[in-house]
Amino acid sequence: MLIRTMVRTSSVPWAAGPLFLLVWYMSDDLGRRVVPAYWESASSIPAYCLFAIAPVCAACAAWEAGRLKRGGVAQLGAARAQVMVVAQALAPVALLGLAAVTGSFLTVRVSMGSALDWPSVSVIGMITVVLAAHMLLGFVVGYALPRLLAPALILVLDYLWMTLPPTFDTMWVRHLTGHLETGLPVTDRINPDSVIAPAVVAAGIAAAGLLVALTSGRRRMAAALAGVLGIGLGGLAGQHLVADWGPSAPALARTDQPACAGKKPEICVPRELASVLPELEGASAAVLPRLADAGIPAPQRLSTASTATRVGPETWRVYASPYLTEDDARAEIAEAALPDLPDCLAHTDAYVGDPLPLRVWLLLAGGVPDDVVTEHYGPDALPAMAGVRAQSEEKQLDWFRRNLNLLKQCEPSPETQAIVR
Amino acid sequence: MTLWLKARRPAVLAAGILVFAALSTAVGGRLVGLPSLSGTGTTTVPLLLFVPLAVCAGLLLCLDSGAQAAEITGARHIATYDRCLTALTGATAVGSAALAAVLRDAPVAVAAGRNALFLMGLALCVRAAWGSGVGMLVAAGWVVMVTLVGYDAYRTPRVWAVLGLAPGDVAGIALAGCCFAAGLGVLGRSTAGRRLR
């Protein structure tokens, strides 16, 4: 059968318009928020859009199954094999999913403005397996339930499966759907298990769907039992991979070479942020000598490093974004003098201190203009620090070190409570 | 009338209403965060939005049961019977939603009854043109659409979406009532789309 005929006789043209519009809107909106050119982060956007693409494909597949069932195709002496009948019914649905995902990638590429490398192959693979699984599941549901009920039921249940797990207290469930979080930091790469787990679960569902779809008569019951076993095994394997995870996948630092500039200190950022190196160099030349005068010695290295990596005392972790201005760069360099603090709130709801006053002090000591400090920390920041800044340099440094030590031990530091951003 | 009642398989409708009542009571006022296209990316909606689909499916399955060809050519007032059955279903849905609201002490559950009326009306109108399968899909699609675009960035429900409005919202009640009345009105004209079922 011609592909044009297959598409014309299917339900796909009805669903295509709204789906493409939805996917375009979401991809464009989210694509503008990722770090330009960083495909690893941008690749999660089409996976995020799966919450719309997968249910629509499942509903279309259920509709096609109902159409075949109503036509009594399985009972007729068809010249084509059952697998061909199913494949031809599902081909337009697969095309719909493929077109939506491709459209999402293209929209993200246009919204990002630039790109290094290519989209993540592992994410593309996961999306393909998940879509195939949802499509086959929809087809089986369409065969098993009345045509009136099946497409609507699978649309709603599939939509809820993709979107509800993030609201569950049981964290690992959300990592099995394939509906990836967006906003991966430019310093991190996608955790492979966050792609493998949903793919394994989906593979189990796809295998079950395929078994049931390609069998008929008495063998279908045995196929259904084998399918349940397949889904159970896939679910167990996927759950095993993400069982200990929290709301997000554990961060993994990138392994590729960063872009670096300067000697003392050496400034390193991910390749996608190489354009802001001049701003950071200029800011470090202005800020570091002033901090040294205030008693904070300059580091050997300034690095935009992942939170998943530990940095030594001679390296300051500096935050950089593609839209860094000169003033922002100065503020970031000054703030970078604050070392990594423990996650004090991980085990308690009690007050564990506030590093904001120390950050404000670092900005002021580094010569960052007052208006930039106010812009970053609010109108109360400068008045609250007036008392500290009025003291001698030695006393200011003592205040900073004393409070830093308290914060490192998760001890409340009363002297830093005054500023609320 | 006995034959009509047997042909309509009232047990299917009763199952739909029971599922609706049970889910309304179980879900109560529970809120969930779902993806949204309105500014923030996520919006908090009552899980109850999805529950009226059960009674909607029960009604459509019930109305589609029986010998359609014989009913079209028959002399009995089938359309009137169907309208009475649909009106009774609507009243039962509103009553069971109110009961669920009392049992769970969740006033928001009352809205499930109004939403059931709106979705049944919408599904019946679409059914008249394109058949029950499309009618049910449109009702389900409407619920999904409301979670995506039915609230603005400040989580205020949009009036046209109906489902997210507060239980006592006059505009919501009026829209749901009009839609249900329109659905009742077109019940007898559902021949055009039956070939698409």
What tokens appear for A205 in the block? Answer: 């569902």
A421 — pLDDT class (breaks 50, 70, 90): very low
Q: Which residue stretches of A294-355 are H helix?
A: 326-335
User: Are A339 and A395 part of one and the same domain?
Assistant: yes
User: Are A220 and A359 part of one and the same domain?
Assistant: no
Distance of CA A296 to the CA centre of its chain: 36
Tell which of A234, A253, A272 closes a domain.
A253
User: Are A47 and A159 part of one and the same domain?
Assistant: yes
Q: Which residues of B touch A153 (CB under 8 A)?
A: 57, 140
A412 — pLDDT class (breaks 50, 70, 90): confident
Region A397-407: what's the mean pLDDT? 90
Region B103-118: what's the mean pLDDT? 91
Domain total of chain A: 2
* Domain-embedded: residue A223: yes
B54: nearest CA in chain A? A153
User: Are A194 and A306 part of one and the same domain?
Assistant: no
B34 and A CB contact within 8 Å: yes
A155: nearest CA in chain B? B140
- CB atoms A146 and B140 under 8 Å: no
- CB atoms A148 and B33 under 8 Å: no
Q: Which residues of A touch B34 (CB under 8 A)?
A: 163-164
What is residue B31's three-state secondary structure? strand
User: Are A229 and A318 part of one and the same domain?
Assistant: no
What is residue A374's three-state secondary structure? helix
* Domain-embedded: residue A421: no
What's the pLDDT at B192? 44
User: Are A232 and A269 part of one and the same domain?
Assistant: no
A211 — pLDDT class (breaks 50, 70, 90): confident
Are B176 and B122 spatial neighbours (Cβ–Cβ below 8 Å)?
no
- CB atoms A167 and B32 under 8 Å: yes
Q: Which residues of A touch B139 (CB under 8 A)?
A: 152
- CB atoms A151 and B148 under 8 Å: no
- CB atoms A163 and B35 under 8 Å: yes
Per-residue pLDDT tens digits for A90-103: 999 999 999 999 99
A21 and B CB contact within 8 Å: no
- For A340, other C-beta atoms within 10 Å of its C-beta total 10
B136 and A CB contact within 8 Å: yes
- CB atoms B57 and A152 under 8 Å: yes
| Residue of A148, A153, A157 best to disrupt the B interface, most CBs of B under 10 A | A148
Tell which of A219, A253, A287 closes a domain.
A253
ipTM of the complex: 0.91
Cis peptide before A151, with omega less than 30 degrees from 0? no
B39 and A CB contact within 8 Å: no
User: Are A212 and A309 part of one and the same domain?
Assistant: no
Evaluate if residue A200 carries a pLDDT over 90: yes
A165 and B CB contact within 8 Å: no
Query: Across chain A, what does the average pLDDT equal?
Result: 89
Q: For B181, list phi and psi in degrees, rounded to 5.
A: -65, -40
Q: Which residues of B touch A160 (CB under 8 A)?
A: 50
User: Are A222 and A289 part of one and the same domain?
Assistant: no
Is the alpha carbon torsion for B12, B82, B173, B160 positive or negative? positive
- CB atoms A152 and B32 under 8 Å: no
Q: Tell me which residues of chain B, numbers 41 to 70, contact chain A at a CB-CB cutoff of 8 Å.
A: 50, 53, 57, 60-61, 64
B142 and A CB contact within 8 Å: no
Q: What does the angle CA A352 – CA A356 – CA A358 come to, to the nearest 5 degrees?
A: 100
A390 and B CB contact within 8 Å: no
Tell me the CB-side half-sphere exposure of residue A20, using CA atoms within 13 A.
Answer: 13
* Domain-embedded: residue A207: yes
User: Are A172 and A68 part of one and the same domain?
Assistant: yes
Tell which of A221, A253, A285 closes a domain.
A253
User: Are A249 and A281 part of one and the same domain?
Assistant: no
Are A108 and A42 spatial neighbours (Cβ–Cβ below 8 Å)?
yes
Per-residue pLDDT tens digits for A244-267: 888 888 989 998 899 999 888 999
- CB atoms A148 and B148 under 8 Å: no
Distances (CA, A) of A38 to A84, A100, A102, A113: 41, 21, 18, 11
* Domain-embedded: residue A146: yes
Residues comprising chain A, all counted: 421
Distance of CA A316 to the CA centre of its chain: 26
User: Are A113 and A57 part of one and the same domain?
Assistant: yes
CA distance A363 to A375: 12
Region A230-237: what's the mean pLDDT? 92
User: Are A312 and A165 part of one and the same domain?
Assistant: no
Q: How many CB pairs under 8 A join A and B?
A: 57
B7 and A CB contact within 8 Å: no
- CB atoms A148 and B60 under 8 Å: yes
- CB atoms A163 and B64 under 8 Å: no
- For A339, other C-beta atoms within 10 Å of its C-beta total 13
Range of the domain at A114: 3-253
Evaluate if residue B135 carries a pLDDT over 60: yes
Per-residue pLDDT tens digits for A272-282: 999 999 999 99
- CB atoms A146 and B61 under 8 Å: yes
Per-residue pLDDT tens digits for B118-133: 999 999 999 999 889 9
B126 and A CB contact within 8 Å: no
B35 and A CB contact within 8 Å: yes
- Which positions ≥6 away from A180 have C-beta within 8 Å? A44, A47, A48, A123, A190, A194, A195
Strand pairing report for A252-253 and B31-35: unpaired
Sequence spans of domains, chain B: 2-196
The candidate with the shortest Cα–Cα distance to B44, out of B150, B169, B117, B142, is: B150
> Minimal Cα–Cα distance from B148 to chain A, Å?
9
